[in-house]
Amino acid sequence: MKQIKFGIAGYGKMGRIREESILNSTNAKLMSIYEVSDYSHNDKSTVQCNSFDELLKTDIDAVIVSAYVSVAADYAIRALNSGKHVFCEKPPSMTFKEMQEIIKAEKKANKVLKYGFNHRFHHSVMEAKKVIDSGDLGKILWMRGVYGKAGSIDFNDNWRNYKNYSGGGILMDQGIHMLDLFRYFSDSEFRCLNAHLTTLFWNIECEDNAFLTLKNKNNIVATLHSSATQWRHKFLLEMEFENGYINLDGILSSTRSYAPETMTIGRREFEDITFAMGKPKESTTYYEYDESWDLELEEFINAIYGINPIKNGTSNDSLEIMKLVDFIYKISKVNSKQGLNDN
């Protein structure tokens, strides 16, 4: 099969990560780049474009959108309308309404559209999904997620903290991954019961902490704390089932600041009086490699080839996520007006 020719719109941190995955694939080739800021690129055969329109006119089959969230919907729609397949980073759009417009373009273009919720492709997450789907632990009772980072010395000036570029703060940046995993593991949609979005430390216009309580139609309750004041980086997803539990603790990244990545499985043990309640036997698996970026690209390319459709990071996944995110911000705003939030 012929190589899929890629153009990258947005050559910051994520654009460079996606470039590496393209270079790792025998089925992909990078043809062109568009970036608004000054940058250098070693491969002179890669066309360096001066506009997004110029990128679309290069010899490419697909576009990776890794630019500001404020232009993500516009770029995705224009790329689809020009007959290109699209792989877009999360957050997928600024609003639910923008996602609706993207899906209209997707249906009209009949091209592959995928969104980058790469956590689904971490080995701990994939293994946990297999255990859950086997039914061995029974039904999910509740989920509790914590996803936090420490920010950085220049965090106040980071583009992600300007609403006109990012659409929101830590919820849109990191919390959205946990919202996606709640949906992924439960195979259902959640509604927001309560939301407290606040700025506790950083001098930014967006939230640096998000506290959420969610519930789905199966009465699964999920809570999330997404934070930019977690001075020791933390990823933890606890899931309690009828017959036991799964804890996903840590997630591998380029800095390994959330490492190690582990999955712990335990089973409830109180039927037999000889067992000490609350201290079940556990098994913990450690994961050493993060192949999520490459596996995501592989799914996208296979969908273009017609081998398999997109199963992770579909446009519907993104639509439902943005519907929930919009409602979370709305509830938090209402709470703020009623004096229940700090700001």
Whether residue 17 is found in the same domain as residue 128 = no
The C-alpha torsion from 314 through 319 and 322 to 326, rounded to 10°, is -170
Return d(Cα 266, Cα 161) in angstroms, integer. Answer: 39
Give the mean pLDDT of the chain.
95
Q: Is 156 exposed, middle or buried (0-12, 13-18, 19+ CB in 10 A)?
A: exposed
Over the stretch 286-323, which tens digit does the pLDDT of each residue have?
999 999 999 999 999 999 999 999 999 999 999 999 99
Last residue of a domain, one of 70, 92, 111: 111
CATH number of 47's domain? 3.40.50.720
CATH number of 272's domain? 3.30.360.10
Over the stretch 236-266, which tens digit does the pLDDT of each residue have?
999 999 999 999 999 999 889 999 999 999 9
Q: Is 296 inside a domain boundary?
A: no
Pick from 38, 70, 41: nearest CA to 164: 70
Q: Which pLDDT score is estimated for 275?
A: 60
Over the stretch 2-24, which tens digit does the pLDDT of each residue have?
999 999 999 999 999 999 999 99
- Name residues whose C-beta falls within 8 Å of residue 339's C-beta, 6 or more positions apart in sequence: none
Over the stretch 106-152, which tens digit does the pLDDT of each residue have?
999 999 999 999 999 999 999 999 999 999 999 999 999 999 999 99
The angle at the Cα of 178, spanning 310 to 25, to the nearest 5 degrees, equals: 40
Over the stretch 46-63, which tens digit does the pLDDT of each residue have?
999 999 999 999 999 999
Last residue of a domain, one of 51, 79, 111: 111
Domain count along the chain: 2
Return d(Cα 60, Cα 3) in angstroms, integer. Answer: 10
Model's pTM, two decimal places? 0.95
Whether residue 151 is found in the same domain as residue 282 = yes
Q: Is 295 inside a domain boundary?
A: no
CA distances from 145 to 117, 172, 219, 223, 324 (A): 16, 15, 17, 6, 16
Whether residue 229 is found in the same domain as residue 85 = no
Beta-strand relationship, 85-89 and 113-116: parallel
Whether residue 40 is found in the same domain as residue 175 = no
Sheet holding 85-89, edge to edge: 47-49, 28-34, 4-9, 62-65, 85-89, 113-116
Residue 267 bridge partners (DSSP): 244
Domain residues for 267? 119-290+323-337
The one-letter amino acid at 269: E
Tokens 């911000």 belong to which residue? 329
Q: Which pLDDT score is estimated for 87?
A: 98
Question: Residue 323's CB: how many other CB atoms inside 10 A?
Answer: 17
Q: Is 9 inside a domain boundary?
A: yes
Whether residue 189 is found in the same domain as residue 330 = yes
Strand spans (E) along 217-260: 221-227, 234-241, 244-249
Q: Is 309 inside a domain boundary?
A: no
Over the stretch 66-95, which tens digit does the pLDDT of each residue have?
999 999 999 999 999 999 999 999 999 999
Reading phi first (left if > 0) and then psi (alpha if -120 to 50, else beta), residue 240 is in beta
